[in-house]
């Protein structure tokens, strides 16, 4: 039995139409409304192409200001999805976060700290292998403002993506298809493919999607095998905060003044395999500490309660 999916069935309105509308309203509506300030600024500066996404100076604003403008759509996404769950589906919001009555913040911070640690270890190894590839890029007070902004805004951005894919869509699809494997694969692969428009893909090729789909699979596993979202929320926030503040590279989806900048980035099959190894280590540690459901449970049907 999938507690996380059955919990969704037990409350509020669960017709398929509501889930379709919820995705459209929260994602499309939020992106449109949240992008208005950036679009107005672009029009006022006479900039009409996507080059601004990797060169904010075209708008005459700092990277930190541009970072806020880029994150506003996700803030609206989160707000609209929360409102839709509460007032259209008429569900308690905690049902979208966990199958249990209490949200466990310790799991969030554990996942956050573990992923940050593994990322730093991998980066340190990369540095000692090729130190000339790293440029120290400390920008004084601007960096600390970026850290504050990242800790404030990025958890909202990552939480929306997690709520949309690991909660809302997974619960919605799971109400129709009574096997964990179906909502797990659809939402995980969908999450990876959603990033196909990211600058990294254009810069380094479609092999980068291996990492996106891989991390989508990991986030999905953590959610469906723990019947809760804490691990996915912590990992995703750590991943994006790390990328926004510590190590940047050409073509990154986040144009920020990171502490370090790498001159060259390898997105080949070997680098993807190393990243997958890091994800396996993360999953193994979480599984050992918190006793997740076995992987075999993905192929088991769960009871759908009316």
215-250: pLDDT as tens digits? 999 999 999 999 999 999 999 999 999 999 999 987
Q: Flag whether 259 is in a domain.
A: yes
> Average pLDDT for residues 56-64, to the nearest whole number?
88
Residue 199 lies in a domain: yes
Q: What is the spatial distance between Cα 52 and Cα 136, in angstroms, rounded to a whole number? A: 24
User: Angle, nearest 10°, between helix axes 208-224 and 269-290?
Assistant: 10
Q: Which domain holds residue 198?
A: 3-299
In a domain, 86, yes or no: yes
The angle subtended at Cα 248 by Cα 242 and Cα 251, nearest 5°, is: 125
Q: How many domains does the chain have?
A: 1
Torsion of the alpha carbons at 81, 83, 84 and 85, rounded to the nearest 10: 90
Spatial distance between the Cα atoms of 68 and 59, rounded to a whole number of angstroms: 14
Evaluate whether residue 153 is within a structural domain.
yes
Note whether residue 305 is domain-resident: no
39-43, 144-148, 160-164, 174-178: least confident range: 174-178
Per-residue pLDDT tens over the stretch 202-219: 788 888 899 999 999 999
Q: Residue 69: pLDDT band by 50, 70, 90 thresholds?
A: very high
User: Would you place residue 178 in the very low, low, confident or very high pLDDT band (cuts 50, 70, 90)?
Assistant: low
Report the residue count for the chain: 306
Residue 304 within any structural domain of the chain: no
pTM value? 0.93
Q: Helix or strand or coil: residue 43? A: helix
Q: Is residue 271 in a domain?
A: yes
Is position 204 within any domain? Answer: yes
CA neighbor of 106 nearest in space, from 242, 245, 7, 228: 228
pLDDT tens track for 9-30: 778 898 889 999 999 999 999 9
């Amino acid at each position: 039995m999938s507690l996380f999916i059955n919990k969704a069935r037990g409350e509020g309105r669960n017709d398929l139409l509501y889930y379709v509308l919820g995705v459209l309203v929260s994602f499309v509506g939020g992106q449109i409304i949240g992008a208005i300030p950036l679009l107005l600024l672009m029009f006022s500066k006479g900039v009409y192409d996507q080059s601004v996404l990797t060169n904010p100076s075209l708008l005459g604003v700092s990277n930190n200001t541009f970072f806020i403008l880029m994150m506003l759509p996700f803030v609206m996404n989160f707000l609209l999805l929360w409102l839709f769950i509460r007032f259209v589906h008429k569900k308690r919001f905690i049902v979208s976060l966990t199958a249990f009555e209490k949200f466990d913040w310790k799991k969030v911070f554990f996942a956050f700290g573990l992923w940050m640690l593994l990322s730093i270890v991998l980066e340190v190894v990369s540095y000692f292998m090729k130190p000339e590839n790293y440029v120290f890029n400390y920008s004084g007070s601007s960096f600390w403002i970026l850290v504050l902004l990242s800790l404030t805004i990025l958890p909202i951005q990552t939480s929306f993506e997690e709520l949309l894919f690991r909660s809302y869509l997974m619960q919605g699809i799971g109400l129709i298809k009574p096997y964990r494997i179906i909502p797990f694969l659809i939402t995980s692969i969908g999450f990876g493919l959603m990033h196909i428009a990211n600058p990294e893909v254009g810069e380094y090729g479609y092999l980068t999607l291996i990492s996106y789909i891989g991390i989508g699979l990991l986030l999905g596993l953590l959610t469906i095998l723990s019947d809760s979202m804490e691990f996915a929320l912590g990992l995703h926030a750590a991943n994006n905060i790390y990328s926004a503040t510590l190590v940047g590279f050409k073509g990154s989806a986040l144009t920020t003044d990171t502490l370090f900048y790498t001159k060259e980035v390898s997105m080949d099959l070997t680098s993807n395999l190393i990243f997958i190894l890091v994800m396996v280590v993360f999953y193994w540690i979480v599984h050992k500490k918190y006793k997740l459901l076995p992987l075999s449970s993905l192929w088991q049907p769960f009871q759908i309660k009316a």
